[in-house]
Amino acid sequence: MVTASKSVVVRVAVPVPLRKLFDYLWSFERQPEPGTRVRVPFGRRSLVGVVVDIGGSGDDVKLKAVTEILDVEPVFDETLFALLKWSSSYYHHPLGEVMASALPVALRASTGLRPAGGERWRITPAGLVTDADSLSRAPARQKIFNGLHEAGEAGLSRLDLKSVVSAWTKPVAALVEQGLVERFESDFLDHTPFDAEPGPELIDDQLGAIETICDRLGDFSAMLLHGVTGSGKTEVYIGAITRVLERGEQALVLVPEIALTPQLVDRLRSRLGVQVAVLHSGLNDTTRHRMWFAARSGEAQVVLGTRSAIYTPLARPGLIVIDEEHDGSYKQQDGYRYHARDVAVMRARMSKIPIVLGSATPSLESFENCERSRFTRIDLPRRVGSAGLPSVHLIDLSRMPTDQGLSPPLVKAIENRLKRGEQSLIFLNRRGFAPVLICGGCRWQATCERCDSRMTHHRSMGRLRCHHCGVITDVPTNCPACEADALVNVGEGTQRVEEFLQERFDQARIVRLDRDAARGPQALNEALDRIRSGDANIIVGTQMVAKGHDFPGLTLVGIVNADQGLYSIDFRAPEFLLQQIMQVTGRAGRADAPGEVLVQTAHPQDPAFVALASHDYDSFIRLQRGERKAAGFPPFSHLALLRCDSLKTDEPMDFLGWAHQAARQCLDAAKEDAATDYTPANVDLMDPVPSPMQRRAGRHRAQLLVRARERSDLHRFLMDWIYRIEANTRTRRIRWSVDVDPLDLY
């Protein structure tokens, strides 16, 4: 081993919001290694950082020294380390924070790499031939000895031992001393073997898809699996993962939200015949650390997780699957604003493995990547089994009266399902009773005092509530402005529709599924069980019902307010709207009974609804593509959004005004500079504007959009610009952030 000289300097990424590395002296015998966690003094604090580079100006006497080495080996392997550096530069976010967010919470502190709790105890060969009677004078020891005897090779954990004898430590220590029992390190997953369940006989489309994926194992390839709902995409994942496991490799599967797809964990486990390491934000720190370690050591063959699991280390990566790749929850919306799907594609590229992006309604970005031959497209155009796609009918609200938001044909259709003992699903994207409480006398409206938004009336709890900041207030009995007794609820929320349907069909069993009704995984699971068992006749729900659920008894889907979002200022709104409606639509008629979908809209000629009625997502996306291209929006340009918020009214616009000038200076300087490596003329600076929701939770908000045709120009510009903003002392106290590839412009 080479001994490090006293003057070695290491560059450390520290979890602070500064886009730079920090130099420290390295005064240990051991050679520093990139990727190792260290403890370093930082101001008056002591922080855990990661060594990034070795070398630097060693004779700088002012440098402080690394105080502790926390790892015996790097936490991140070379590829993951490279991915983290790429992420930091792509999203212009400090490397220290990016690395911290990639680590389980336990490892952001001094905890060792290997989680505690993997230890077990078992009987030794000497113990096996010892008669338990010889321990009769030490009853606790004897009890434990017998317990371990029964457990055999697998042994017992701390918890198991505790249930045998609550004060177990001394007797176990004595048994170890006698040589009858030994302690050993074990795995973190339960590897008790079980038989995999056989799957359905796959159809040709599915077999073809699996073959395409498997042909590419061992090399980078990005594939878009576009399959209508119920086309058997999950079976394709399972088929491909089976092959990955046969090769002795690991598969990483990302889903938008685990709480909403509890069946997927069971399905993967039972079909693949292996334990699945599950990683999501609902786990406690210890469990998360264990699952992370099991993935890193290669113990877990299949790792299933949400957004942040994209940074899970894998010993032998073989395949990445991103289910519902269009889903917005892959984009982190605060702090380090990365898009897990895009990071995943880069990870697959760096790891030289294939990635499958699956969806019934792919994002325009992925669609465009297929057009440009960056992704390979695989289609599953048919539903498996006898069920065809549901028939979709548009109900023209401009010629139809509604009662509590529901048109007569929709109410009639629900009635028919009730008579036939079939289920109906009524979808609307508003929880609560009514979105607006308004005075019929003076037009006063209930608004949030901390946000520029209206309060939603939640009648069941007798309160008004802001869905943006969570504030709750009492419902006034009379108008606070003119004192008239004339307050009326306008618009429909899930509670109002539920109440109306219950009055109309008093025998019906109705389940409401939204964030108020399904608080926590247990309430959600109970609701899902009631639906799947057929106990519920009518389901009223928000987007919560849209995701991946399989409701076998469902034959009718009613979309109450399809127009919401259609004419929004956000250029992605039509795409999101159609994705959501198509996902909900896909819930109908999965079993043998054909499904019917009724869509209420005041704009039945809108291309989005025409495409919906003919299940023609491709045409819709092509239309959207044309519009985006004409308007110069992504994927035909690249965006970055500088946001600022403050308690002071004018500060955000003042700050952005200054930032705008700074940006101009960057671009002008680049134009003058003959040696510049980008084209500043390709960067469009918009003016600073107040955010669409100008005030939220008491903070004033504003934003500045930057657009460039070429990604490289945008990135080079951002480097200069952010450097300038960060170097300026007046910006230190201001809360600002950069969002590269923003998903919405709010």
Determine if 385 is a binding residue for ligand ADP (CB under 6 A): yes
* Secondary structure (3-state) at 52: strand
Quickly count: other Cβ atoms within 10 Å of residue 293's Cβ.
22
Return the number of the residue (248 or 440) whose C-beta is nearest Zn ion: 440
Given 72, 128, 400, 481, the residue binding Zn ion (CB under 5 A):
481
Q: What are phi and psi of 218, to 5 degrees?
A: 95, 0
Work out the burial of residue 714: count CB atoms within 10 Å of its CB; fewer than 13 is exposed, 13-18 middle, 19 or more buried.
buried
Segment interacting with ligand ADP, rule: CB under 6 A, options 227-235, 271-279, 290-298, 574-582: 227-235
Distances (CA, A) of 95 to 85, 278, 582, 734: 7, 26, 39, 21
* Secondary structure (3-state) at 379: strand
Distance CA 372, CA 35 (A): 36
Name residue 641's amino acid: L
Segment interacting with Zn ion, rule: CB under 5 A, options 132-140, 221-229, 461-469, 579-587: 461-469
Segment interacting with Zn ion, rule: CB under 5 A, options 146-154, 477-485, 639-647, 701-709: 477-485
Give the one entry of Zn ion, ligand ADP, none that residue 468 binds, where binding means its C-beta sits below a cut-off of 5 to 8 angstroms depending on kind: Zn ion
Nearest residue to 214 (alpha-carbon basis) of 239, 234, 233, 249: 239
Distance CA 621, CA 360 (A): 12
**Pairing, β 472-474 against β 423-427:** unpaired
Work out the burial of residue 53: count CB atoms within 10 Å of its CB; fewer than 13 is exposed, 13-18 middle, 19 or more buried.
middle
Q: What are phi and psi of 461, to 5 degrees?
A: -100, 5
Determine if 468 is a binding residue for Zn ion (CB under 5 A): yes
Quickly count: other Cβ atoms within 10 Å of residue 516's Cβ.
18
> Smallest distance, Å, CB 413 to ligand ADP?
24
Tokens of 683: 């960067």
Nearest residue to 531 (alpha-carbon basis) of 549, 547, 544: 549
Determine if 324 is a binding residue for ligand ADP (CB under 6 A): no
**Pairing, β 8-13 against β 22-26:** antiparallel
DSSP 316: S
Q: 612 near 563, Cβ under 8 Å?
A: no
Distances (CA, A) of 480 to 30, 451, 463, 486, 489: 72, 18, 15, 11, 15
Determine if 230 is a binding residue for ligand ADP (CB under 6 A): yes
Return the number of the residue (607 or 692) whose C-beta is nearest Zn ion: 692
Give the one entry of Zn ion, ligand ADP, none that residue 385 binds, where binding means its C-beta sits below a cut-off of 5 to 8 angstroms depending on kind: ligand ADP
Determine if 234 is a binding residue for ligand ADP (CB under 6 A): yes
Determine if 550 is a binding residue for ligand ADP (CB under 6 A): yes
Name residue 13's amino acid: A
Determine if 436 is a binding residue for Zn ion (CB under 5 A): no
Distance CA 475, CA 496 (A): 16
> Smallest distance, Å, CB 358 to ligand ADP?
7
> Smallest distance, Å, CB 448 to Zn ion?
3
Distance CA 644, CA 654 (A): 10
**Pairing, β 735-740 against β 638-646:** antiparallel
Given 19, 37, 120, 233, the residue binding ligand ADP (CB under 6 A):
233
Segment interacting with Zn ion, rule: CB under 5 A, options 193-201, 322-330, 338-346, 451-459: 451-459
Given 21, 466, 497, 501, the residue binding Zn ion (CB under 5 A):
466
Determine if 268 is a binding residue for ligand ADP (CB under 6 A): no
Tokens of 20: 């730079």
Return the number of the residue (267 or 337) whose C-beta is nearest ligand ADP: 267
Return the number of the residue (229 or 287) whose C-beta is nearest ligand ADP: 229
Determine if 482 is a binding residue for Zn ion (CB under 5 A): yes
Determine if 387 is a binding residue for ligand ADP (CB under 6 A): no
Please give the residues from 602 up to 621 whose contact with Zn ion meets the rule CB under 5 A. none
Please give the residues from 620 up to 679 whose contact with ligand ADP meets the rule CB under 6 A. none
Determine if 479 is a binding residue for Zn ion (CB under 5 A): yes
Determine if 437 is a binding residue for Zn ion (CB under 5 A): no
Distance CA 313, CA 316 (A): 9
Given 88, 130, 206, 601, the residue binding ligand ADP (CB under 6 A):
206
Give the one entry of Zn ion, ligand ADP, none that residue 188 binds, where binding means its C-beta sits below a cut-off of 5 to 8 angstroms depending on kind: none
Given 54, 105, 132, 203, the residue binding ligand ADP (CB under 6 A):
203
Tokens of 133: 């009677």
What is the secondary structure of 605-642 as a DSSP string?
A: TSHHHHHHHTT-HHHHHHHHHHHHHHHT-TTSSEEEEE
* Secondary structure (3-state) at 163: helix
Quickly count: other Cβ atoms within 10 Å of residue 717's Cβ.
23
Give the one entry of ligand ADP, Zn ion, none that residue 261 binds, where binding means its C-beta sits below a cut-off of 5 to 8 angstroms depending on kind: none
Return the number of the residue (231 or 456) whose C-beta is nearest ligand ADP: 231
Determine if 304 is a binding residue for ligand ADP (CB under 6 A): no
Given 227, 313, 680, 688, the residue binding ligand ADP (CB under 6 A):
227
> Smallest distance, Å, CB 194 to ligand ADP?
19
Return the number of the residue (387 or 486) whose C-beta is nearest Zn ion: 486
DSSP 222: E
Distance CA 39, CA 35 (A): 13
Give the one entry of ligand ADP, Zn ion, none that residue 256 binds, where binding means its C-beta sits below a cut-off of 5 to 8 angstroms depending on kind: none
Give the one entry of Zn ion, ligand ADP, none that residue 621 binds, where binding means its C-beta sits below a cut-off of 5 to 8 angstroms depending on kind: none
Given 384, 410, 641, 702, the residue binding ligand ADP (CB under 6 A):
384
Return the number of the residue (483 or 616) whose C-beta is nearest Zn ion: 483
Determine if 463 is a binding residue for Zn ion (CB under 5 A): no
Determine if 231 is a binding residue for ligand ADP (CB under 6 A): yes
Tell me the number of residues near ligand ADP by CB under 6 A. Answer: 16
Q: 250 near 316, Cβ under 8 Å?
A: yes
Per-position b or e across 537-550, b if 16+ CB within 10 A of its CB: bbbbbbbbbbbbbb
Determine if 379 is a binding residue for ligand ADP (CB under 6 A): no
What is the secondary structure of 506-543 as a DSSP string?
A: TT--EEEESTTT--HHHHHHHHHHHHHTT--SEEEESG
Calculate Rg over the CA atoms of the chain: 29
Give the one entry of ligand ADP, Zn ion, none that residue 235 binds, where binding means its C-beta sits below a cut-off of 5 to 8 angstroms depending on kind: ligand ADP
Determine if 469 is a binding residue for Zn ion (CB under 5 A): yes
Give the one entry of Zn ion, ligand ADP, none that residue 479 binds, where binding means its C-beta sits below a cut-off of 5 to 8 angstroms depending on kind: Zn ion
Tokens of 601: 């809209």
Quickly count: other Cβ atoms within 10 Å of residue 4's Cβ.
16
Nearest residue to 613 (alpha-carbon basis) of 394, 413, 426: 394
Peptide bond preceding 635 in cis form (omega within 30 of 0): yes
Give the one entry of ligand ADP, Zn ion, none that residue 450 binds, where binding means its C-beta sits below a cut-off of 5 to 8 angstroms depending on kind: Zn ion
Distance CA 604, CA 563 (A): 10
Determine if 472 is a binding residue for Zn ion (CB under 5 A): no
Determine if 585 is a binding residue for ligand ADP (CB under 6 A): no
Tell me the number of residues near Zn ion by CB under 5 A. Answer: 15
Segment interacting with Zn ion, rule: CB under 5 A, options 59-67, 181-189, 236-244, 440-448: 440-448
Give the one entry of Zn ion, ligand ADP, none that residue 441 binds, where binding means its C-beta sits below a cut-off of 5 to 8 angstroms depending on kind: Zn ion
Segment interacting with ligand ADP, rule: CB under 6 A, options 59-67, 202-210, 459-467, 496-504: 202-210
Give the one entry of ligand ADP, Zn ion, none that residue 202 binds, where binding means its C-beta sits below a cut-off of 5 to 8 angstroms depending on kind: ligand ADP
> Smallest distance, Å, CB 585 to ligand ADP?
12
Return the number of the residue (65 or 387) whose C-beta is nearest ligand ADP: 387
Q: Which residues sit at the interface with Zn ion, rule CB under 5 A?
A: 439, 441-442, 444, 448, 450-451, 466, 468-469, 471, 479, 481-482, 484
Q: Which residues sit at the interface with ligand ADP, rule CB under 6 A?
A: 200-203, 206, 227, 229-235, 384-385, 550
